[in-house]
């Protein structure tokens, strides 16, 4: 694992603008909010050659509101290399106000060398050999299925739905994606990945605090490494990143709940789809909605257009009983509202193009290993999951955000399984809000 903070440099067009460190920016803007003399006058009082002294003078006055002050530091970018896919998923879950990216299974090579070693992620020594053997077999199954599906797509091009008049390089890329997207369910959640996040010092301190409270040692190591880098950017505000009791108590309860539910529902069967959608459009009597659904939606040219208040005020909860971790990794990055999953394996997804029978013995051994890890209440059980492991997943948000997600995840270039999940949720939503029909664009997930 390696964490690198990335400092920003002003572009040439802004080279004559004020240059401030993240903490100096926060302190100046904090003083700005408590003064009417204007930014220029405040900057005159700041000695850029003695930036630390200037920060200390101001923060001594304003640090009682440290959370809002830390939010003024601007976007601090961190790159985190060679962490598990589980930890990347967890960081995205925690950092709901971050902008970020993770390595894609479509664009980086994934093979046995991508697997983290058992001692790096806390697999108990007595199970380390068995865990690694099963994970390596899963990689081999992934490679075998990819090769088979690539040949299948070559022999039967009608399966892939190539765009009309597609060029050879486009055909090759789409054929590759067809095979990768269907074989990836055998990949271990303990695969190495890399990610980059950009957020304020306020959100970094919250993320570090949360990570440090988790029972997994990898999360604690990452918290320490992030804190070390954040200290370079906001050395005074980083003191607020220490874990505290409420975080630790909730992390402990979440873990106990996952273990209990996981042991009750553990299975390697492919769970059939079940989707749940709930809409709440209750409004205060003194502030009724005057806009129709048509007026709220008809002016959008595409999903990036603005919805009206009739949609933005509507609360929506949506959930699936069987979200494979392969899809969870991406749907978990939609930042609005609250996302929740116990992260257990209550089923195992393989697409219709993959026959599970040649792999059943491997899947049974894998499920037995998961049970053993959970029975011993090992936090490292999460590294026994595969991308095909199915888990319940719930997201609560507002209707405009839900519609954006549904249109995106069924649209051009969407993964076939995203499209299935969101299509079913969208149809449920339209049943509950029939006047929205005709104003929402469900895509067909055509290849790009």
Residue 20 sits in the same domain as residue 72: yes
Residue 146 and residue 207 share a domain: no
Q: Let me know whether 221 and 302 are in one domain.
A: no
Give the rounded percent of residues in the chain with a pLDDT score beyond 70. Answer: 92
What's the confidence (pLDDT) of residue 68?
Answer: 62
Whether residue 13 is found in the same domain as residue 73: yes
Q: Is 302 exposed, middle or buried (0-12, 13-18, 19+ CB in 10 A)?
A: exposed
Q: Give me the pLDDT at residue 111, please.
A: 82
Give the whole-angstrom CA distance, residue 391 versus residue 322: 5
Is residue 113 one of the residues assigned to a domain?
Answer: yes
User: Which of these ranges, 125-139, 158-172, 392-406, has the smallest mean pLDDT?
Assistant: 158-172
Residues 147 and 111 in one domain: yes
- Residue 378's closest CA among 118, 187, 115, 191? 118
Residue 390 structure tokens: 């199915």
Closest C-alpha to 23, from 204, 197, 195: 204
pLDDT band at 302, cuts 50/70/90? very high
Name the CA radius of gyration of the chain, rounded: 24
Q: Which of 342, 388, 394 lies closest to 367 in space, CA to CA?
A: 388
pLDDT in tens, 248-261: 999 999 999 999 99
Q: Rounded to an integer, what distance in angstroms lies between the CA atom of residue 304 and that of residue 307?
A: 9
Domain span holding position 145: 104-186
Closest CA to 5 of 81, 68, 64, 60: 81
Nearest to 342 by CA among 436, 433, 225, 262: 262
Q: Is residue 329 part of a domain?
A: yes
Q: What is the pTM of this model?
A: 0.90
Instruction: Copy the structure tokens of residue 155.
Output: 């022999």
Highest mean pLDDT: which of 74-83, 169-178, 311-320, 438-447? 311-320
Lowest-pLDDT range, 49-63, 277-291, 347-361? 49-63
Tell me the pLDDT band of 49, cut-offs 50, 70 and 90. Answer: low
Q: 197 and 182 in one domain?
A: no
Are residue 114 and residue 150 in the same domain, yes or no? yes
Q: 224 and 177, same structural domain?
A: no
Tokens representing 10 are 């002003």
Distance CA 303, CA 409 (A): 11
Asked if 176 and 293 sit in the same domain, the reply is: no
Pairing type for strands 347-348 and 389-398 reads antiparallel
Domain count, the chain: 3
d(CA 177, CA 180): 5
pLDDT at residue 14 is higher than 50 = yes
∠134-140-142 over CA atoms, to 5°? 105
b/e code 269-286 from CB counts within 10 Å (16+ = b)? ebbeeebebebeeeeeee
Query: Phi then psi for 53, rounded to 5 degrees?
Result: -65, -40
């Amino acid at each position: 694992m390696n964490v690198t903070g990335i400092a920003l440099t002003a572009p040439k067009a802004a080279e004559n603008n004020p240059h401030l460190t993240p903490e100096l920016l926060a302190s100046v803007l904090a003083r700005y909010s408590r003064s009417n003399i204007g930014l220029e006058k405040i900057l005159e009082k700041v000695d850029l050659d003695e930036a630390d002294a200037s920060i200390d003078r101001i923060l001594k006055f304003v640090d009682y509101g440290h959370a809002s002050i830390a939010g003024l530091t601007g976007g601090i970018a961190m790159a985190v290399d060679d962490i598990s896919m589980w930890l990347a998923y967890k960081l995205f879950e925690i950092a709901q106000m971050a902008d970020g990216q993770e390595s894609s299974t479509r664009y980086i090579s994934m093979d046995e060398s991508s697997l983290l070693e058992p001692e790096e992620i806390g697999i108990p020594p007595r199970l380390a050999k068995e865990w690694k053997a099963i994970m390596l077999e899963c990689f081999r199954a992934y490679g075998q299925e990819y090769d088979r599906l690539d040949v299948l797509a070559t022999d039967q091009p009608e399966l892939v739905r190539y765009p009309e008049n597609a060029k050879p390089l486009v055909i090759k890329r789409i054929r590759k994606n067809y095979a990768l997207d269907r074989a990836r369910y055998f990949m271990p959640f303990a695969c190495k990945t890399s990610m980059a996040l950009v957020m304020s010092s306020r959100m970094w301190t919250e993320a570090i605090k949360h990570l440090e409270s988790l029972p997994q040692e990898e999360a604690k190591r990452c918290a320490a490494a992030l804190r070390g880098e954040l200290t370079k950017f906001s050395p005074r505000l980083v003191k607020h990143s220490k874990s505290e009791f409420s975080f630790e108590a909730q992390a402990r309860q979440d873990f106990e709940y996952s273990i209990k539910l996981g042991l009750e529902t553990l299975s390697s069967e492919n769970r059939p789809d079940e989707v749940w959608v709930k809409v709440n459009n209750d409004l205060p009597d003194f502030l009724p909605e005057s806009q129709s659904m048509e007026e709220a939606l008809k002016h959008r040219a595409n999903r990036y257009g603005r919805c009206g208040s009739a949609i933005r005020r509507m609360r929506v909860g949506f959930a699936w009983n069987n979200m494979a971790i392969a899809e969870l990794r991406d749907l978990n990055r939609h930042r609005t509202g609250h996302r929740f999953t116990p992260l257990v394996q209550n089923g195992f997804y393989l697409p219709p193009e993959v026959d599970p029978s040649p792999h059943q013995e491997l899947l049974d051994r894998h499920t037995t290993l998961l049970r053993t890890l959970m029975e011993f209440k090992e936090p490292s059980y999460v590294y026994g999951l595969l991308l095909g492991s199915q888990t319940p997943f719930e997201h609560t948000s507002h209707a405009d955000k839900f519609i954006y997600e549904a249109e995106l995840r069924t649209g051009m270039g969407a993964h076939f399984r995203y499209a299935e999940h969101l299509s079913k949720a969208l149809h449920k939503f339209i049943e509950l809000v029939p006047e929205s029909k005709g104003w929402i664009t469900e895509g067909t997930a055509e290849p790009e």
